[in-house]
Structure 1
Amino acid sequence: MEVKLHDIGEGMTEAEINCFLVKPGEAVKADDPLVEVQTDKMTAEIPAPRAGIIKEFTVQPGDTVSVGSTLLILEVGEQAGVPVKIEKNLPKPAVAELQAERLQSFAAVKRKRVLASPFTRKIARENGITIENVAGTGPAGRILDEDIYKFMAAAQQKPKLPAQPAPKEPAKRNDKVTSTIPLRGRRKQIAKKMVHSLNTIPHCTHFEEIDVTELITFRNELKDQNQTISATAFFLKALSICLKEFPVFNAELDEEKEAIHLLKDHHIGIAVDTEEGLIVPVIQNIEKKSIRDIHKEMKQLTDKALENMLTVKEITGGTFTISNVGPLGGSFGATPIIQHPQTALVSFHKTKKMPVVTEDDQIVIRSMMNISMSFDHRVADGATAVRFTNRFAELIQNPKMLVLEMV
């Protein structure tokens, strides 16, 4: 039977073949992972629809294939998943012998089901480790990244980390490029999405400076009570309040029907920088969640993103997106690219202590943060964006007001 690439995410039309997790002649059970693919949102594994033996591959690693394309041929049979394709007109002893031979072959190549994320498999693969030989310490025996490193340490093998872009040599006049970085996997998919977004949406970016001194003080008060809540959790709740008051930024433009759909639910994506590239897990229905719950869920999703373990549900359905680049630096702002078909994206930048002149002409030191908000100028205007960020600033500069707004 043909094993085809099926739709594993919203709007998916194609995927790139990362690698095969099996070999021709290998026996597999139903749901065993066969091939690892990269979509524009995630790395995923295509499982075996039935038990059988791998006959041949019809695509190669690095190929980009459309949904519905055949990936490999799987021979399936009746005896415990063993394909018994018997040639016609063979005498009964020969048939029995052939069946016994294939049963023996099945037992020889049958492998145990290994629980591991695609990124963990990649570490093993790039270090020449047979992942079936590694003991997993995660839930249900899942093999974790550290299990691979421990296995290599026990074998006194120096770990080789997943391939990173090769550093470029200093440019010289008239010199040709001496190194290249293949545009593959998630990087390739990100490139496609960004080009599509910029070619489709007329971006406009508004910049604002926000005083986060009171938020820092409030968070320190919570820490004294053994309650650690990230600043981003406060940002997300404040944004949800603003989206309720300015629903045009939680919307999608339907050009065909010439309509702007205002979306009731606030599913906010959080851009996470991973070794595989940018990925955006989504916190669903933030408007219904407390700041504490938002903090907890955000941490869980970020951890899963870094381990490449996000599910399709956890990275789809976003209605608005944020990018927090503050921990990396970047004081003055940027022009973030919107996640099409969303309408807006807000980026938070580095917080710096600065002298500020108060209303009574006093100079005080305050903690100031720049934000940049890109929005679809077909859907909203600059004045509305300014009102949106003014309201956001009001909530963040007086964080205890968030409690009143949630009543």
Structure 2
Amino acid sequence: MVEVKLHDIGEGMTEGDVITYFVKEGEDVNEDQPIIEVQTEKMVTELTAPKGGRIKDILVEEGATISVGTTILTIDAGNASIEEDEAAPKDDSETSEPSETAPDHDRKTEVKGPVRIKAAPYTRKIARELEVDIEQIKGTGKDGRITVEDVKSFKGPEEAVDKGEKVAPATKKAAEDPTEEENWIPFKGRRKQIAKKMTQSIYTIPHVAHMEEVDMTELLAFRQELKPEASISVAAFFIKALAIALNDYPIFNSELDEENGRILLKDSVHMGIATDTTEGLIVPVIRNAEGKSLSDIHKEMKSLTAKAMENNITGKEVTGSTFTISNVGPLGSIGATPIINYPEVALMAFHKTKKMPVVDQNDEIVIRSMMNITLTFDHRVADGGEAIAFTNRFKSLLENPKLLLLELV
């Protein structure tokens, strides 16, 4: 008997939520076939069958929160209807008919489990909500991968909208005879893990917020100059300028080891990008940002953000950040005091850029594009003077963007 347990699939993971099963008791599965979808702190992931065999007992209900090490289900490898070394069912022409006289347990039958298809967990979720059989869809993505658009197109736009209304959040009261139960939404999965991490951060770190305003006029003009050759997002400039500033002020790219009485200065800048998704906040990571060009940063950030929005991101892509940014300006924010992404030392938020009258060096009133920024830092590790110096260095690079050319790779 093979036990399938929830194993640690991410840094610091202690629990997860069982979202859905792809199999039922009594069904046969191949080795490495997806059998369970689990929500962890950072992502939705699939667990696969470690051995081929027959699903014996499903021990955990869908929606349950379980700790690492919990046995979710068992597989009877001795009653497998296919050989364990078979990666997938054979073609019909290769399948021999079972003997009429053979006992039931010796017969080789068609696998009843789901076909191995290429689709992200989020795509599968949309398919379930729209009551679409994802196995019937032909994927248009890379290597035949099924996308969210494929699911919606298969269902039909009008039907998808109608079904979307049926799966609206539980906070919407029923039209008739609403009950208190219908006003609850589940506090688990990523939402619960975010709460735990934010609580740990705010109760562990003495937060200080330093605020500054940045004149974005020259940067926006410089970005327009580059457009014939390359379209670079403003956030890519933020990341590159921060990587340079962090090299000059490495205390903000560090980690406090309070137990051993030391501060570890990190060799590389692994930039976390706070991303707002339908499943909650997630932080994809651009590794070694200090050694990447603006173009490389832009492309990687775009790719990681798309994966995060589709809930199709790996554990490695959301762990190991040394500094985090929060670009909330496009949402309309003019100021905030963000919570640090523990165990990092600092986080910088970029707020809305808007045109304002400004008095220039000649005491004349001119219109400039101004943006507020907030640096939240750990006062155990750094002081206000260092925070101001670090922020001023970052500000100077944005206000004189051609200085970045001296640092670009």
TM-score over 0.5 (shorter chain) = yes
Residues 89-100 of structure 1: matches in 2 within 5 Å?
A: 96-100=102-106
Residue 385 and residue 111 in structure 1: after superposition, are their counterparts in 2 closer, same or farther (change >3 A)? same
Count of residues paired in the alignment:
388
Residues 60-71 of structure 1: matches in 2 within 5 Å?
A: 60-71=61-72
Contact kept, 8 Å, 1:152 with 1:158, in 2: the verdict is no
Compare 178-187 and 131-140 and name the one that shifted more: 178-187
Shift of 1:274: 1.0
Residue 309 and residue 353 in structure 1: after superposition, are their counterparts in 2 closer, same or farther (change >3 A)? same
Amino acid at match of 2:104: L
Shift of 1:35: 1.1
Structure-2 separation of matches of 1:154 and 1:254: 53
Residues 238-387 of structure 1: matches in 2 within 5 Å?
A: 238-331=241-334, 333-387=335-389
Shift of 1:108: 5.1
Shift of 1:161: 3.5
Structure-1 separation of matches of 2:114 and 2:43: 26
For residues 12-54 of structure 1, the C-alpha deviation after alignment (integer angstroms, 9 at most, x for no partner) is 1211212212221222111111111111111111111111121
Shift of 1:111: 3.4
For residues 90-145 of structure 1, the C-alpha deviation after alignment (integer angstroms, 9 at most, x for no partner) is xxx999312345x23xx151432011111111111112222212222222221111
Structure-2 separation of matches of 1:345 and 1:164: 33
Structure-1 separation of matches of 2:298 and 2:160: 39
Residue among 139, 143, 147 paired with 2:142: 139
Task: Report the equivalent of 1:49.
Answer: 50
Amino acid at match of 2:75: L
Residues 20-99 of structure 1: matches in 2 within 5 Å?
A: 20-77=21-78, 80-81=82-83, 96-99=102-105
Task: Report the equivalent of 2:3.
Answer: 2
Task: Report the equivalent of 2:114.
Answer: 111
1:210 equivalent to 2:211? Answer: no
Task: Report the equivalent of 2:194.
Answer: 190
Helix, strand or coil: the match of 1:207? strand
Q: Considering only aligned residues, what root-mean-square deviation do their CA atoms show, in Å?
A: 2.4
Residue 155 and residue 274 in structure 1: after superposition, are their counterparts in 2 closer, same or farther (change >3 A)? closer
Residue 398 and residue 157 in structure 1: after superposition, are their counterparts in 2 closer, same or farther (change >3 A)? closer
Task: Report the equivalent of 1:172.
Answer: none
Q: Percent identity?
A: 55
Shift of 1:154: 8.8
Residues 119-134 of structure 1: matches in 2 within 5 Å?
A: 119-134=122-137
Residue among 218, 223, 226 paired with 1:219: 223
Contact kept, 8 Å, 1:19 with 1:36, in 2: the verdict is yes
Structure-2 separation of matches of 1:406 and 1:140: 35
Structure-2 separation of matches of 1:131 and 1:53: 23
Structure-1 separation of matches of 2:157 and 2:241: 49
Shift of 1:227: 1.5
Task: Report the equivalent of 1:85.
Answer: none
Amino acid at match of 2:315: V
Task: Report the equivalent of 1:396.
Answer: 398
Structure-1 separation of matches of 2:210 and 2:389: 11
Shift of 1:221: 0.9
Contact kept, 8 Å, 1:272 with 1:280, in 2: the verdict is yes
Contact kept, 8 Å, 1:27 with 1:111, in 2: the verdict is no
1:165 equivalent to 2:169? Answer: yes
Helix, strand or coil: the match of 1:96? coil
Task: Report the equivalent of 1:173.
Answer: none
Task: Report the equivalent of 1:90.
Answer: none
Structure-2 separation of matches of 1:157 and 1:294: 35
Contact kept, 8 Å, 2:29 with 2:111, in 1: the verdict is no
Superposition TM-score, scaled by structure 2 size: 0.89
Contact kept, 8 Å, 1:149 with 1:159, in 2: the verdict is no
Structure-2 separation of matches of 1:26 and 1:344: 50
Contact kept, 8 Å, 1:240 with 1:266, in 2: the verdict is yes
Superposition TM-score, scaled by structure 1 size: 0.90
Gaps of 5+ in 2: 85-98, 174-179
Shift of 1:166: 4.4
Amino acid at match of 1:326: G
Structure-2 separation of matches of 1:370 and 1:43: 34
Structure-2 separation of matches of 1:345 and 1:279: 14
Residue 108 and residue 29 in structure 1: after superposition, are their counterparts in 2 closer, same or farther (change >3 A)? closer
1:179 equivalent to 2:183? Answer: yes
Structure-2 separation of matches of 1:179 and 1:206: 39
Residue 307 and residue 157 in structure 1: after superposition, are their counterparts in 2 closer, same or farther (change >3 A)? closer
Amino acid at match of 2:328: V
Residue 346 and residue 16 in structure 1: after superposition, are their counterparts in 2 closer, same or farther (change >3 A)? same
Residue 3 and residue 394 in structure 1: after superposition, are their counterparts in 2 closer, same or farther (change >3 A)? same
Contact kept, 8 Å, 1:23 with 1:54, in 2: the verdict is yes
**After the TM superposition, which segments of 4 or more aligned residues of structure 1 sit over 6 Å from their partners?**
none
Contact kept, 8 Å, 1:40 with 1:193, in 2: the verdict is no
Residue 403 and residue 117 in structure 1: after superposition, are their counterparts in 2 closer, same or farther (change >3 A)? same
1:150 equivalent to 2:153? Answer: yes
For residues 221-254 of structure 1, the C-alpha deviation after alignment (integer angstroms, 9 at most, x for no partner) is 112x242101100110000011101101101111
Contact kept, 8 Å, 2:54 with 2:81, in 1: the verdict is no
Amino acid at match of 2:308: A
Task: Report the equivalent of 2:95.
Answer: none
Gaps of 5+ in 1: 83-92, 170-175
For residues 198-238 of structure 1, the C-alpha deviation after alignment (integer angstroms, 9 at most, x for no partner) is 11111111111000000000011112x24210110011000
Amino acid at match of 1:373: L
